[in-house]
Amino acid sequence: MVTGNKRDYYSVLGVDRDADQQSIKQIYRKLALKYHPDRNPGNKEAEDRFKEISEAYQVLSDPAKRQKYDQFGHQGLDGSGFQPFTGFDEIFESFGDIFGDFFGGGRRTRSRAVKGDDLRYDLVIDFMDAIKGSEREIEIEKLAFCDTCGGSGCKPGSSPRTCPQCNGIGQVRRSQGFFMISTPCPQCHGSGHIISDPCTACSGLGKVEKRKRLTVKIPPGVDSGSRIRLRGEGEPGSLGGPNGDLYIILRVKEHALFQRNGDDVLLEYPITFSQAALGTTIEFEGLDGKESVTVPAGTQSGKDIIFKGKGVRNLRGYGSGDLYLRVIVVTPTRLSGREKEIFEELSQLEGTAVHPGKKKSIFEKIKDSIS
């Protein structure tokens, strides 16, 4: 729809006549950024388009003006106090709220408090310490507030002065084309104040390197990669911010006998041929002390005997894993004369007699192949 020599405001923005305010606002933002003169220097067509969409939004964003426009068109705005868009400064005065997202709302605020840096400490512990829990003492080196100046950075008896560049706000604003950008003040680095007479102990930083001893409580059930967090034991914050945290990263040494898989533990236990064939009772040292079990006759190598709940205590309190006792039948590598006789006799009884040490001649092999 065209009224007089002006295009319909809804057509200008490309929205339906029943579009809600949020939709109109979003479309306007997109078009205003696209056609703004700073993005189109020397482009008269873009400049005219920018004026047109700005004028349309000025009407459609105001419920009272929009109602009059819907009823009477452009004529309905005559005498209403509405003035068409005539200059770029109006966009900041009339529609400042639209670009609040880009300008930070137009209000200057002091730099926010910054939390201190988190620290990491890698701690190696024994297998059984991880299973049962323990305590370890560690020593770390970190930044801490200077005792001489109390963290102010000023020489005792002096005090900081307000930064003249940002007037204590800690931020400076500058225009970059269509945007207003806030950045930390380069003179005070965002603190809002200047230290004229710095502390000699910390050179005005307010922080110094210190060593500190800490006791780390290791809960039962941890494993390699587990983290223990010590709140507030990191480096101090800035501008009143809280301290960072210290993260203890654990690495568990391997055990000579036990193999861990999550909360389950595997222990391989060697037995002889005769024990496997005839059965036996064995005793071994588990995670919680001595354990005893009967190995039934005819047990095969690799057989697992499960001890429920005898594994690792779950770190989150979900009970305990299991202990797997894996029976390994060991083949003897050295036999006495008598033992050798017994095994040969056994092989004959089994029908698996062997004739070690004697090789057939070529004539014997040919004879065997013919017969």
pLDDT for 11-45, tens place per residue? 999 999 888 888 888 888 888 878 877 677 778 88
> Are residue 303 and residue 353 in the same domain, yes or no?
no
Which of 203, 231, 252 is the last residue before a domain boundary?
252
Structural element, H or E, at residue 86: none
At residue 112, the pLDDT reads: 67
Full domain range(s) for residue 358: 337-370
| H runs (alpha helix) in the chain | 9-13, 21-35, 44-60, 63-72, 89-94, 100-103, 127-132, 273-278, 337-350, 362-370
At residue 134, the pLDDT reads: 96
Whether residue 300 is predicted with pLDDT greater than 50 in this model: the reply is yes
**Backbone φ and ψ of 13, nearest 5°:** -85, -15
> Are residue 267 and residue 153 in the same domain, yes or no?
no
Which of 203, 222, 252 is the last residue before a domain boundary?
252
Q: In whole angstroms, what is the distance from residue 99 CA to residue 57 CA?
A: 13
Higher-confidence residue of 32 and 78: namely: 32
**Residue 111 falls inside a structural domain:** no
Mean of the pLDDT values across residues 300-311? 96
Mean of the pLDDT values across residues 174-179? 64
> Are residue 204 and residue 242 in the same domain, yes or no?
yes
Sequential DSSP letters for 43-81: -HHHHHHHHHHHHHHHHHTSHHHHHHHHHHGGGGGTTTT
Whether residue 217 is predicted with pLDDT greater than 90 in this model: the reply is yes
Mean of the pLDDT values across residues 213-221? 96
Max Cα–Cα distance, the chain, nearest Å:
129
At residue 100, the pLDDT reads: 42
pLDDT band at 120 (very low <50, low <70, confident <90, very high): very high
This prediction has a pTM of 0.58
> Are residue 87 and residue 207 in the same domain, yes or no?
no
Q: In whole angstroms, what is the distance from residue 175 CA to residue 193 CA?
A: 24
Residues 6+ apart with CB under 8 A from 228: 216, 217, 218, 222, 247, 248, 250
**Residue 103 falls inside a structural domain:** no
Q: What is the mean pLDDT of the chain?
A: 83
pLDDT band at 257 (very low <50, low <70, confident <90, very high): very high
> Are residue 262 and residue 222 in the same domain, yes or no?
no
pLDDT band at 189 (very low <50, low <70, confident <90, very high): confident
Which of 202, 220, 252 is the last residue before a domain boundary?
252
Whether residue 71 is predicted with pLDDT greater than 50 in this model: the reply is yes
Residue written as tokens 């003249």?
Answer: 164
In a 3-state reduction of DSSP, which class is residue 168?
Answer: coil
At residue 356, the pLDDT reads: 54
Give the CATH number, domain containing residue 303.
2.60.260.20
pLDDT band at 263 (very low <50, low <70, confident <90, very high): very high
Whether residue 4 is predicted with pLDDT greater than 70 in this model: the reply is no
pLDDT band at 109 (very low <50, low <70, confident <90, very high): very low
Higher-confidence residue of 18 and 213: namely: 213
What is the DSSP-derived secondary structure letter of residue 192? S
On the CB side of 102, CA atoms within 13 Å amount to 17
Q: In whole angstroms, what is the distance from residue 44 CA to residue 325 CA?
A: 86
**Residue 325 falls inside a structural domain:** yes
**Closest-CA residue to 267 (of 58, 111, 127):** 127
Torsion of CA 301, 306, 310, 315, to 10 degrees: 100
**Residue 110 falls inside a structural domain:** no
pLDDT band at 165 (very low <50, low <70, confident <90, very high): confident
> Are residue 24 and residue 82 in the same domain, yes or no?
yes
**Residue 195 falls inside a structural domain:** yes
Give the CATH number, domain containing residue 10.
1.10.287.110
pLDDT band at 354 (very low <50, low <70, confident <90, very high): low
Residues 6+ apart with CB under 8 A from 325: 267, 269, 284, 291, 293, 304, 305, 306, 307
Count of domains observed in the chain? 4
Give the CATH number, domain containing residue 181.
2.10.230.10
Residue written as tokens 């202990």?
Answer: 323
What is the DSSP-derived secondary structure letter of residue 313? B
**Closest-CA residue to 229 (of 247, 251, 253):** 247
pLDDT band at 68 (very low <50, low <70, confident <90, very high): confident
Mean of the pLDDT values across residues 328-355? 84
**Residue 291 falls inside a structural domain:** yes
Residues 279-309 as b or e (16 or more Cβ within 10 Å = b): ebebeeebbeeebeeebeeebeeebebebee
